[in-house]
Amino acid sequence: MKFFVTFALILSLVLAVISAPAIEEGNPEHQKVLLRTRRYTCNVLKSNAWCSLHCVALGKPGGHCSKGTCYCSQW
């Protein structure tokens, strides 16, 4: 009985590993990061300060609004 329980456990683990989805690496140049840049801060509040604060929260040095879209500085 102990043999069958051990065998069933090992079989379950093997099947779980086999059925796990593979991570696709692919070409990094074909992978695009899609980010929505239109923000509530520029459309409703119409304030560069809120946009800049949002960009600082993302780790960027600042940002500005242009035509309702928040643009974060790259450097």
Q: Report yes or no on whether pTM surpasses 0.75.
A: no
Is 22 part of any domain? no
- Look-up of token digits 């099947």: 15
pLDDT tens-digit readout, 15-72? 888 876 666 666 656 555 556 555 566 777 677 888 888 888 888 898 888 888 888 8
Is the residue at 63 inside a domain? yes
Identify the H or E element spanning 15.
helix 2-19
Tally of domains within the chain: 1
- Domain assignment of residue 3, yes or no: no
Does a structural domain hold residue 18?
no
d(CA 50, CA 26) in angstroms, rounded, equals 37
Question: Could you tell me the residue range of the domain that residue 70 belongs to?
Answer: 36-75
3-state class of 45 per DSSP?
coil
